[in-house]
Amino acid sequence: MEDRRDRIAILVIHEIYGLNTHIKDICENLKQLNYTVISPNLLEKVEYYTYKEENKAYLHFVNEIGFELAANKIKVLARKLRSQFSELYILGFSVGATIAWLCSNEFNLFNGAIGFYGSRIRDYLSVTPKCKTLLFFPEKEKSFDPNEIIKELKEKNSTQVIKVSSKHGFMDKLTSNYNENDFKLCFKIMNKFILEQSNKKDQIYFKYGEI
């Protein structure tokens, strides 16, 4: 039996839609890079909502889950995984990115935290990451100016911020905001970030060009 304590695991945190095709595709891409991937369903009773059910999905998250409760659940899961894997990272998209940001403030829980277009991070700027953190933001958002929080986030220790010219959701191949060039570039930057934190650089194959 394989010793999982010699493996790198990545906790992937979904958007308001749940474990949809986008999240499953991201998980599969990470598995191709030889990572162990765990993606818990925060919706619990529902696997996912369609994009046409955006309002329903949003209300479900706000009323039934919420950022802080979700972050606490992920921290509990992460503590269990911590003893099973040599290294543990957290990766989130949209609301999942804000959850990853909230989880980054725990000592010795994650080796690194990564978030894509976590709009609501702006409500939690008091968080101070206790692990290396990588955040991606689009150049523009509908409800706020990313430049305002990017400036503040760059002042925080252990925090790297990347801004791309695409729109919110640029990593999702099933949306009109998908940008293939930024997807490939950001995936490459993300993998490099993990490798830089990892103690197992020689054991991980950099297959970015195959994605």
pLDDT in tens, 5-61: 568 999 999 999 999 999 999 999 999 999 999 999 999 889 999 999 999 999 999
CA dihedral 147→179→8→45, nearest 10 degrees, is: 90
Does position 1 have pLDDT exceeding 60, yes or no?
Answer: no
DSSP for 158-206, written as a single string: TEEEEEESS-TTTT-TTSTT--HHHHHHHHHHHHHHHHHH-S-GGGS--
What's the mean pLDDT in 120-130? 97
Q: How far apart are CA 140 and CA 163, in angstroms?
A: 9
Q: How far apart are CA 207 and CA 29, in angstroms?
A: 9
Q: How far apart are CA 159 and CA 141, in angstroms?
A: 21
Instruction: Enumerate the β-bridge partners of residue 136.
Output: 116, 162
pLDDT given at position 205: 42
Q: How far apart are CA 106 and CA 201, in angstroms?
A: 24
Which of 49, 79, 50 has its CA nearest to residue 64? 49
- pTM score: 0.92
pLDDT given at position 44: 85
Whether residue 106 contacts residue 80, with contact meaning beta carbons closer than 8 Å, is answered with: no
Q: Which domains does the chain have, with CATH numbers?
A: 4-200 (3.40.50.1820)
Tell me the per-residue pLDDT of 91-101, one tens digit each, with 9 for 90 and over.
999 999 999 99
CA angle 90, 192, 163 (to 5 degrees): 75
Does position 133 have pLDDT exceeding 70, yes or no?
Answer: yes
More confidently predicted of 83 and 48: 48
Which of 29, 25, 27 has its CA nearest to residue 210? 29
Sign of CA dihedral 157, 198, 38, 3: negative
Which of 108, 91, 89, 109 has its CA nearest to residue 100? 91
pLDDT confidence tier of residue 4, bands split at 50, 70 and 90: low
What's the mean pLDDT in 129-145? 95
pLDDT given at position 209: 39
pLDDT given at position 200: 54
DSSP 8-state secondary structure symbol assigned to residue 61: I
More confidently predicted of 185 and 200: 185
Does position 80 have pLDDT exceeding 70, yes or no?
Answer: yes
SS3 52: helix
pLDDT given at position 203: 45
- Tokens representing 21 are 């095709």
pLDDT given at position 91: 98
pLDDT given at position 198: 82
- Tokens representing 36 are 């162990």
Whether residue 20 contacts residue 14, with contact meaning beta carbons closer than 8 Å, is answered with: yes
